[in-house]
Structure 1
Amino acid sequence: MIDQFDPLTTLTSRLLAENIIRRVNEYEATQDKLKASTRVLPYISKQQVMDELDISDSTLFNFEKHGLKRYKPRYKTSLIYYLIDDICQFVVLDN
């Protein structure tokens, strides 16, 4: 029985592990950045998302088109909110 993996298996395993570690680090960094200010609720406004992630309105619209869920108050308003965790997961998974 051979105790070592072949070079291709070793390389593939290492690349997968590095990719997973990179994505976890990105998720944590994004989450830290979005949670940096003191928030009482788990929501963040559309404007804050654009400001904090330095993205445009069209980029955020594209995120929504690809599955990011928006939240709006029940009363008539133009305000839009997102769950912070949704933003974090979406930004990391979108890479």
Structure 2
Amino acid sequence: MTQELNQGKHLSSLLSQFRLLDKQIPLIFQKNADAAALEKDLSVYAEFLTEELHRKIMRNLTYIQPIFFITLAGLIVFIYITLMWPMFQLIKTI
């Protein structure tokens, strides 16, 4: 990337070649030539991505949390049954 920048290629065209980067990043660099405006746009974009990541994490937690509690409850019931089973067998023989 540094070599291509030294050859005079624009940063937005280089960033569009990276598949892992979001499609909005080259557009932000292409739109802004002013450093202050670029800093502001990147800051807003970073805040947007942070909020989106937080939303996705919270959505996934709403699925993971009930599954975890159901598994934990099942484990507790299993342990209770395994502890009480010999006592039930003793009561049957009496």
User: Considering only CA atoms, is the larger Rg found in Structure 1 or Structure 2?
Assistant: 2
TM-score interval (norm. to shorter) = 0.3 to 0.5
Instruction: Pick the structure with more helix per residue.
Output: 2
Higher relative contact order (CA 8 A, sep 6+): 1
What is the TM-score when the length of structure 1 is the normalising length?
0.33
The TM-score normalised by the length of structure 2 is: 0.34
